[in-house]
Amino acid sequence: MGFFQFPNSILVVIVFGMMNLFNLGFGARKLASLYEAPTMAIRYHNGALLQGNVPVSILWYGKFTAPQKAIVLDFFLSLDSHSDEPGVVAPSVSRWWNTVQVYMKRAGKKEAKVILAKQIPDDEYSIGKFLKRNQISELSRRAGSNYGGVTLVLTAEDVIVEGFCMSACGFHNWNHKSKSAYIWVGNSVSQCPGQCAWPFHQPIYGPQTPPLLPPNADVGIDGMIINIATLLAGTATNPFGNGYFLGPPAAPLEAATACPGVYGKGAYPGYAGKLLKDDTTGGSYNAAGVGTRKYLLPALYDPVTSRCSTLV
């Protein structure tokens, strides 16, 4: 199973090392760490990738507003669409996804086309507000995703998940029976926004630079988009633990986790890089989506150049 750690501090680098010792799993969006380019290339381990049509089902666990859901849904719709907003000069979300397609091509696979499948609401917290990690797998099975599909389990801000904030902002894994992948990401706005929603909130550790304004005016959801994008790229290129990764299989560096805390050129610890700013809202972003949507997406490791590739 994979984790995504928080960005931003030497202390977290130490924590990351300790987590590796305890074998927390693969493909995770971990707590922020100091950016350091991988010294070796991410290697393909000859396993299956999520190629062709990739249906994504979303299970909304807890209460999400309609505007919050729209931000997430529009991100997925943007993966295969170029922005049609007049005057927008920002790179599109689909250009970001094109780096994932490079992984597919190098492995001799079809391009991965993400398709929104079903949505399952669970706003009554059917198994409570305190979840163990194995209960995320239980929730993912409700979507009934088949081989080649992905279930995205999103937990609301008042849901506490085992390890959330202490070790991870989200993770991806797979159901061994159906061979379908799943991703979990939590809304951190009321629990640990300085860890899982940076750079839209003051960091807990590391350089104390002023937070940026989120592009969709929602610190929790815009932070979730960063984590969803990170784990979606890792799931597509390493869905079952034998795809593209660097390092030990139990705690690998994947397409996005190999470039922690990097969003624009010139990024360094505590600084996300040079980004675009919306003239009207002041929100910081690096990619344009469908309609007037704007998003901040993580850098991806480019297997051709062996460097972290940013959109701006």
Q: Say how far apart CA 220 and CA 200 lie, in whole Å.
A: 9
When pLDDT is averaged across residues 245-268 and rounded to a whole number, the result is 94
Q: Say how far apart CA 128 and CA 140 lie, in whole Å.
A: 15
pLDDT tens readout for residues 50-69:
999 999 999 999 999 999 99
pLDDT score recorded for residue 246: 94
Spatial neighbors of 94 by CB under 8 A, at least 6 apart, are: 78, 79, 80, 81, 82
3-state helix, strand, coil in the chain (%, to 5): 25, 25, 50
What secondary structure letter does DSSP report for 120? E
Q: How many CB atoms lie within 10 A of CB 240?
A: 18
E strand or H helix that includes residue 11 = helix 10-21
What secondary structure letter does DSSP report for 206? S
Res. 296: pLDDT tops 80? yes
Res. 256: pLDDT tops 70? yes
Look over the chain and give the mean of its residue pLDDT values, rounded to a whole number. 87
Res. 9: pLDDT tops 60? no
Q: Which residues of 173-196 are buried (b: 16+ CB within 10 A; e: fewer)?
A: bbbeebebbbbbbbbbbebbbbbb
Tokens 């696979």 — which residue? 109
pLDDT score recorded for residue 149: 93
Res. 109: pLDDT tops 80? yes
Res. 19: pLDDT tops 60? no
Q: How many CB atoms lie within 10 A of CB 219?
A: 20
pLDDT score recorded for residue 20: 32
When pLDDT is averaged across residues 34-40 and rounded to a whole number, the result is 54
pLDDT score recorded for residue 82: 64
pLDDT tens readout for residues 173-224:
999 888 899 999 999 999 999 999 999 999 887 777 889 999 999 999 999 9
pLDDT score recorded for residue 90: 66
Per-residue pLDDT band for 25 (boundaries 50, 70, 90) equals very low
Per-residue pLDDT band for 85 (boundaries 50, 70, 90) equals low
Q: How many CA atoms lie within 13 A of 242 on its CB side?
A: 4
**DSSP-derived pairing of the beta strands 168-175 and 244-245:** unpaired
When pLDDT is averaged across residues 295-299 and rounded to a whole number, the result is 98
Q: Count how many residues are written for the chain.
A: 312
Res. 14: pLDDT tops 50? no
Per-residue pLDDT band for 104 (boundaries 50, 70, 90) equals very high
Per-residue pLDDT band for 89 (boundaries 50, 70, 90) equals low
Q: What would the two tokens of residue 304 be?
A: 């051709």
Residue 131 exposed, middle or buried by CB count within 10 Å (0-12, 13-18, 19+): buried
Per-residue pLDDT band for 2 (boundaries 50, 70, 90) equals low
pLDDT tens readout for residues 121-171:
999 999 999 999 999 999 999 988 888 899 999 999 999 999 999 889 999
Res. 42: pLDDT tops 90? yes
Spatial neighbors of 278 by CB under 8 A, at least 6 apart, are: 215, 284, 285, 294
pLDDT score recorded for residue 29: 57
